Structure 1
């Protein structure tokens, strides 16, 4: 089906010689924003690495991993279809490079603009538009090292959007953010969903699951252990089992908070 962007069948993956993804069979659709939820060490980030091709699945006759219907994909085709923003990527950028250059570098798959990398007028206009969209216009000339954590996170999203990808993958987007920065980022994520971008958000925080999420996946010990809607899964008993601690869920306007059970 042409609306399936991620198709895994009996996939296993190793990290440091240890199996971290076990028998993954999963299909993700365009237009269906999804949250992958699980405790630390559950294998969430490895799934991101399978998507961005920094980790490859074990080759087995009965398994496959396809992105947009293809088992092999050109890295440039991947960038034009899937944007990925991770905290690991943040650490690759030099602190003195300005925000505008970091976004423009996304057109070339680099961490800064080289001497032979000259953005054209279309790319300059696109980067300016994205910065305004994510409320970063005032920081275009600000060095990366002088931006707040929230501004840096939005900048990573802006950079991931330069190719107008169909899918945006966010790995722990609210990590280390204060309440204001977190709420601003959640508003950005909601806007992107409402504008037609399909999100895959990887997190361990229930309070950062936006109301626009239509699907929730639970992952534990490298396995998808539950799959359903927020109403079906974000419940006291199911979350308590996932995180192995008693939890009580409170809901308000589509958001959820958890308290000790």
Structure 2
């Protein structure tokens, strides 16, 4: 009996010692994990800030706020990974916390982006947007300071949007924004200047086809090419401005001649009747 009791005491003592040893092992592991978690959070926060400061200039307060946001976000994730609590409630709480930190960082990043776009007054040399074209023609279009600033801002914003979404319809974006910045006359004049070269090339091409087909007899080349140029230009400007919504017009657009010239009607008729002479589809045969 004494041996049995003595053995039990020895067993309990050994069990107690084992439990203390396990607890002592768990505690150092937890401490080590938390220390590593802090290092991970610090590394992530610095990495995020390195990317941001490469693009934007931060004041000390903004830097501190963003650093703490990224740091705390990572710490919360690390703690969740270490916790044995896997209930739906705990998961929802974690999602809420992470969303909160993401919301804070996104707010600051959007503010930095807007500040950068507004503060940058220099157009890129390779910016071929209509916003940039309008700024380069500011004297001819008689733009005021506010218009110029808005155009520069929109040119840079559109570049940002394009970087985020390569499928963005830039022409549609320009059609929506430009009328809010330019007057009707300014907008039409901008599109005229941008499409003159194409309209002239098409007019010369049509005249050359008339000569090749022998239907230029009795026609004045200067007058015909001028009529074709004006017609082509009106069609190009209207399509650039309104896209598929071609029935629309404006006060300044009504001054442009969109009536099909007789010379072009003759060319199109000849191309239809004499297909053997038709080398290629005329570039001025629009599908409006």
Q: Above 0.5 in TM-score?
A: no
Question: Which of the two has greater helix per residue?
Answer: 2
Could you state the TM-score of these two structures normalised by the residue count of structure 1? 0.23
Q: Which has the higher contact order (CA 8 A, sep 6+)?
A: 1
Larger radius of gyration: 2
Could you state the TM-score of these two structures normalised by the residue count of structure 2? 0.21
